[in-house]
A and B are shown apart, each in its own frame.
Chain A
Amino acid sequence: MFRTALRNVLAHKARLLMTTLAVMLGVAFVAGTLVFTSTLSDAYAKGSAKGFEGVDVAVRPGGGDEDEPRGPSDLPHELLDRLDRVPGVESATGVVSGFAALADKDGGLVGEGWSTQGGNYDAGPDGKKEDPRHDLRDGRAPLRSGEIALDSKTAERTGFGVGDTVRMSVNGPIREEKVVGVFDTDDGGVAAGGTLVLFDTATAQELFSQPGRYSEIVLTAEDGVSQRELEKRVRDVLPAKTLTSTGDEMADEQARMIEQGMSGMRTGLLVFAGIALFVGVFIIANTFTMLVAQRTKELALLRAVGASRRQVTRSVLVEALVVGVVAALIGLLAGIGIGAGMRSLMGSVGATVPDGPLVVAPSTVLASLVVGVAVTMVAAWLPARRAAKVPPVAAMGGVHAPATPRGLLVRNTIGALLAGSGAALVLYASGIGMEDGKLPMSAGAGLLVIGVFVLTPLLSRPVIAVAAPVLRVFGTSGKLARLNAVRNPRRTAATAAALMIGLTLITGMTVIATSVQKSIDKLATAAIEADYTVSMANFLPLSAEVEQTLAKEESVTALSPLRNSPSRIDGEYEPLTGVDGKALDDLLELDFVQGSFAGLGGENVIVDTATAKEHGWKAGSSFDVVYEDGERGELTVSGVYEGNEMIRGIMLDTATLDPHLEQVTSMQVMVKTADGASDATKSSLQKALGDNPAILVQDKKDLSESIAQMFTMMLNMLYGLLAMAVIVAVLGVVNTLAMSVFERSQEIGMLRAIGLDRHGVKRMVRLESLVISLFGGVLGIGLGVFFGWAAGELISGSLATYELVLPWSRMGVFLALAALVGVLAALWPARRAARLNMLEAIKTE
């Protein structure tokens, strides 16, 4: 039987081509994802391990998490001295680090905001000591304020060298620094495309922490002292809350974090690969169904000469196995290529990825092959079972049996039940809120999609009938196309369903994203009366100097920072927002439930309704607070306002809060100007801030745009990932059409003989393709809108400003996309049909 199966595969090479391609694409996606993520995590892990080579034990301050407001927990200099004297310590280096933005020669920010770091070069008290973490390549170490050292990669990238003056910013104000040294580093951030700027220790402390304090102390051990041993010795001299870890532990921890981050990314990508493979299942099932139908006589003959049912089933499955193995192997190779390609692609769009060898793990190979083969076999299982049901007597019959409509009643009943219960579940879930509704909604959505898929044969007739008036324009070709499209409802359904799945997801995501974008836009801009908000490009804290600079501007009429400081109230962590109590009324439009702005200042605070409810406060309530510096105070609620996701919490006057802050910084500064928002005002503000690349000055329009940009980027990524499913669906349409043309070659030959010209034949095939694709498109877009609406109902529970936005133009584009799929998919089959040899076709066997 195996040999028969193998021969069949070879005999039907062309017809198995699309199936193979579909499986191959899916497997390539899976393999590509696995190769890419394991290559990346390997490179990151190696990079980070290298980064910890110069560290045997690291000492860090304790606390600083949510439960414990960060207190005076930084490491003092005397601790460094004490550690240096511990026996076995070869060197002790104090580390200070934080965000530092570097401007390139054109004034733009170098690197991504999250990976531009600043730190200190620990040259010791005499300025002679070598910092074990960084190897100076050129020049010397920075010794005083105004001097810096640059990492060599950044120096290379920007063209800066020793002697150049660079512009940079740490927390707002622009700084001009002279490059005195260039160093090589194994820092993981730099390897990943970030920048590292080193100051002398005193300047770094001033910028990133406090004079004489470090955020970390790094120790190296003398020869013969193990990391564990050193850690044990060091612990004895450290305060109780201080944390220590060995270099190996940190490297392991880092590797674990990387692995975790990668696995999230891997799972995300694999979901999309799974969707593409799922769509592929339809094509495979379709192909094998048709192959079995075409071979009815042959299979019956096998049965007639004594093959058992099981042998027949097995022969079809073996065929699927061969196809699966071949497709999976090619897919694996293609996937390795994709994995390599993705890295250079990411490199080319600016995200620098660390160098490293391409990692093709044995598990990748195994997973890809198993997935490819399993998907093919599962999809071929039903057709294989059907093959076994061919009665031996069919071998004698002259005519190959056409697909009977038998079983559609059962199918429709099951479909209606599934779709009905799915829709009911979704509707039910849409009314009960995010937390409880998530699960039933996903389940309902799944049921509904499967139900609609099961029902597609039934739906195909009425839906395609709607297109009849349009198709009538195309005369006989149009009529025949419509009739052919509904001729084999199961096949049409499976083909259209493949496209439907992709478009359902695309439409659903678009509806949700568009609606959420609109509502977030409303949130972000509705309550804001300020003309501008000023913030750091990476949304890290902004120095108080910025608000002082802005306040001096003539055009500025009102200004308030938004400071953020942790506090403890009733033993619970609670963030405090410091604002300018007098100016705030001009900058924010808040709806007060109780009290008003008038009372803000001194010990008076305003709170949003949610926080007030949580603590049982009303206007006039008083409560005790522990500030971040540990001091206690009593505050009084003077007003309760309607908060939202952007503006909420406890707001108090900066005059009350600032004395308790370790570093006076703000998340953003809101500004109102005399003439309102204009390009001229904006550029004068930017100029006042020294045209700083790290500072964003945004008006409401910019804010909307940056929100829109974020969503557009996300959507484009989703489109890109879902494109694979659509491509597979296109293969499915090509497959179906090619087989239909093959099956109907006699008919087409007759049509040609009695006078339908080649154009007519081509048009007939194209229109059939168009009808099937648009059918899938309409179903997909319809379902997508429904899911979008339903998910929106869930979201609206937690996003007050949510409202459904139907992106009509986008949906038009998707429908056009479905039409395009139809036209493209028909190219080859239509040509084939038109080129068909009339005489061969008419001749009887």
Chain B
Amino acid sequence: MTTSTHSDAPSATSASPGVAAARARDLTKVYGQGETRVVALDSVSVEFHRGRFTAIMGPSGSGKSTLMHCMAGLDSISSGSAWIGDTELSSLKEKKLTRLRRDKIGFIFQAFNLLPTLNALENITLPLDIAGRKVDKDWLERVVETVGLSGRLKHRPNQLSGGQQQRVAVARALVSRPDIVFGDEPTGNLDSRSGAEVLGFLRNSVRELGQTVVMVTHDPVAASYADRVVFLADGRIVDDMTDPTAESVLDRMKAFDARGRTS
């Protein structure tokens, strides 16, 4: 079963490279060898456009997190290629890859992953401190305002609520003006109201700051905040939907489940 927004997987690569913040071609990721060999990603080709908010969805084990890890330079690629802007990842050595992540990519994780020893402001500027770069005061102020953290900057993570902590993580991802922000289930540990807040900020950062955001999620409501949803199953892209709503995403997911059960 297909919906009206469905387009074939190969079409995802047809957009011109100039507008892609990140893209993958025939990206394959294999874990293990011999009998324990698992193909997590099976020749995936996809592009994430600049200034867009993309969600990657799929059931557990579909390879959605693996896709993000490989495209963000966190995990190695078995074959195929992945680019951040014009930089091809598989050819990069460990050191250059680290620098690329530091300078071009922002990360938001499910566990809020803040350093408990640093206050909110220090956590936000951490990527810049590591790079030894100067903080752009105006930009920092704008980011902090966008995520609504003014007045809490001197607090330590354990003095902040879960939602506030995740907003610090969002600000940290945005502060270095990365080419692309990857989120791995960023609302997975939050209650629905805090989750909605964080997703709202992510969407704002795309709309108002022109940020590119790619987010892995299994929550149809979270996906509905995105401009586009890419569906993964069994390591392949099986669908691509623009301007999703929670209902349309849910329907699509149900279809997978049904198909999974019948096959």
Which A residues fall within an 8 A CB radius of B? 402, 475-476, 479-480, 483-484, 487, 746-747, 750-758, 760, 838-839, 842, 844
Minimum CB–CB distance from B123 to chain A (whole Å) comes to 10
Minimum CB–CB distance from A461 to chain B (whole Å) comes to 12
- Chain B residues, Cβ within 8 Å of A752: 98
Stretch at the interface among B3-11, B128-136, B234-242: B128-136
Closest to B95 in A: A757
- Chain A residues, Cβ within 8 Å of B131: 755
CA distance A842 to B101 in the complex (A): 15
Say whether B111 faces chain A, with CB atoms less than 8 Å apart. yes
Minimum CB–CB distance from A740 to chain B (whole Å) comes to 12
Interface residues on B, range: 20 to 34
- Chain A residues, Cβ within 8 Å of B75: 839
In contact, A480 and B98 (Cβ under 8 angstroms)? no
CA distance A244 to B117 in the complex (A): 80
- Chain B residues, Cβ within 8 Å of A758: 94-95, 98
Minimum CB–CB distance from B166 to chain A (whole Å) comes to 13
Q: Known contacts A838-B74, A839-B75: does B107 contact A754 (CB below 8 Å)?
A: yes
Would you list the 5 A-B pairs with minimal beta carbon distance, nearest first? Answer: A755-B102, A483-B117, A750-B113, A757-B98, A844-B111
Contact among A483, A753, A760 for B107, CB-based, below 8 A: A753
Minimum CB–CB distance from B237 to chain A (whole Å) comes to 21
- Chain A residues, Cβ within 8 Å of B107: 750, 753-754
CA distance A337 to B69 in the complex (A): 53
Q: Known contacts A839-B69, A842-B184, A844-B110: does B130 contact A754 (CB below 8 Å)?
A: yes
Say whether B189 faces chain A, with CB atoms less than 8 Å apart. yes
Say whether B246 faces chain A, with CB atoms less than 8 Å apart. no
In contact, A754 and B117 (Cβ under 8 angstroms)? no
One digit per residue, 1 when the CB lies within 8 angstroms of any chain A CB and 0 when it does not, for chain B 94-119 equals 11001101110011011101011110
Q: What are 12 contact pairs spanning A and B, CB under 8 A?
A: A476-B126, A484-B117, A487-B117, A753-B109, A754-B101, A755-B101, A755-B103, A757-B95, A757-B99, A839-B69, A844-B109, A844-B111
In contact, A746 and B111 (Cβ under 8 angstroms)? yes
CA distance A480 to B117 in the complex (A): 8
Which B residues fall within an 8 A CB radius of A? 69, 74-75, 94-95, 98-99, 101-103, 106-107, 109-111, 113, 115-118, 126-127, 129-132, 158, 172, 184, 188-189
Closest to B110 in A: A844
Contact among B113, B127, B172 for A746, CB-based, below 8 A: B113
- Chain A residues, Cβ within 8 Å of B129: 475-476, 479
- Chain B residues, Cβ within 8 Å of A483: 115, 117-118
Minimum CB–CB distance from B164 to chain A (whole Å) comes to 16
- Chain A residues, Cβ within 8 Å of B188: 844
- Chain A residues, Cβ within 8 Å of B99: 755, 757
CA distance A402 to B156 in the complex (A): 14
- Chain A residues, Cβ within 8 Å of B113: 746-747, 750, 842
Contact among B69, B127, B184 for A755, CB-based, below 8 A: B127
CA distance A519 to B38 in the complex (A): 78
Minimum CB–CB distance from A198 to chain B (whole Å) comes to 78
CA distance A746 to B118 in the complex (A): 15
In contact, A844 and B189 (Cβ under 8 angstroms)? yes
- Chain A residues, Cβ within 8 Å of B172: 754
Minimum CB–CB distance from B214 to chain A (whole Å) comes to 15
Having A480-B115, A754-B172, A755-B127, one finds 12 other A-B pairs with CB under 8 Å, namely A475-B130, A747-B115, A750-B109, A751-B130, A753-B107, A754-B130, A756-B98, A756-B130, A757-B94, A758-B94, A842-B109, A842-B184
In contact, B189 and A755 (Cβ under 8 angstroms)? no
CA distance A757 to B73 in the complex (A): 13
Contact among A755, A838, A839, A842 for B130, CB-based, below 8 A: A755
- Chain A residues, Cβ within 8 Å of B115: 480, 483, 747, 750-751
Q: Known contacts A476-B129, A480-B117, A839-B69: does B74 contact A753 (CB below 8 Å)?
A: yes
Closest to A752 in B: B98
CA distance A480 to B110 in the complex (A): 23
CA distance A754 to B113 in the complex (A): 11
- Chain A residues, Cβ within 8 Å of B117: 480, 483-484, 487
In contact, B132 and A754 (Cβ under 8 angstroms)? no
- Chain A residues, Cβ within 8 Å of B106: 754
- Chain A residues, Cβ within 8 Å of B102: 754-756
Closest to B66 in A: A839
CA distance A750 to B113 in the complex (A): 6
- Chain A residues, Cβ within 8 Å of B74: 753, 838-839, 842
- Chain B residues, Cβ within 8 Å of A747: 113, 115
Q: Which of B75, B113, B129, B188 has the most CB of A within 10 A?
A: B113
- Chain A residues, Cβ within 8 Å of B69: 839
CA distance A842 to B158 in the complex (A): 19
Contact among B98, B110, B132, B189 for A475, CB-based, below 8 A: B132
Minimum CB–CB distance from A379 to chain B (whole Å) comes to 28
CA distance A739 to B159 in the complex (A): 25
- Chain A residues, Cβ within 8 Å of B158: 402
